[in-house]
Amino acid sequence: MKIAICGASLPPFDKEILKKSHDIGKEIAINNDILRFGGCWGYPYEAAKGAFENKGKVIAISPGKDREEHATKYKFPTENITEFQFTGLGIPGRNIPLVAGSDAVIIISGQIGTLNEFTLAFHQKKIIGILEGSGGITGLIKEIVKICRKVGEEDKVVYSKEPPDLVKKLNNLNNG
């Protein structure tokens, strides 16, 4: 399964949530899933490091048109990444291929960009995992889902405070 990690990429960062982000990446690697992220810093990058350090595949969906623009214009990381997909779409344009090319999305904290990724995933009926207690928009997601749910449509949104449980729930939904 290809799992996109979406979340806060700008400080301040909570040390406990950084650790949980890393653990999410580790769990993705252990489950032989592929981690995709927007090539940015923050919680998504911590998850990427967790996957990479555990021999997982990590794909950065970059807003840049090439590696130089990725590193210089956006000042995004180039380490702990297995493969780059350069979109040249900028931010938030790269959110569309990031979400569309993934089977599931995990939301960790986040602001407007993460909300955009969530709404794209929700509209596309992707499996979505919410790291509860991570701050940002995650505290509002249940209400957003309630307001935006279509009649007769089954929710594909799962919640957990624990990384292993969250990744397991996504895999169970994908396989079931």
Q: Where are the beta strands (DSSP E) in the chain?
A: 2-7, 34-37, 57-62, 83-86, 104-108, 127-131, 157-160
Q: For 66, list phi and psi in degrees, rounded to 5.
A: -160, 180
Q: In angstroms, rounded to a whole number, what is the distance separating the alpha carbons of residues 28 and 37?
A: 13
Q: Where are the beta strands (DSSP E) in 43-118?
A: 57-62, 83-86, 104-108
Least trusted range by pLDDT, from 3-17, 109-123, 136-150, 156-170:
136-150
Where do the domains of the chain lie, and which CATH numbers do they carry? 2-170 (3.40.50.450)
Angle at 89 between CA 85 and CA 167, to 5 degrees: 50
Residue pLDDT, tens place only, 10-25:
999 999 999 999 999 9
Confidence at 142, pLDDT banded by 50, 70, 90: very high
Q: In angstroms, rounded to a whole number, what is the distance separating the alpha carbons of residues 78 and 54?
A: 17
**Mean pLDDT value across the chain:** 96
* Size of the chain, expressed as the number of residues it contains: 176
CB neighbours of residue 176 within 10 Å = 5
Residue pLDDT, tens place only, 61-92:
999 999 999 999 999 999 999 999 999 999 99
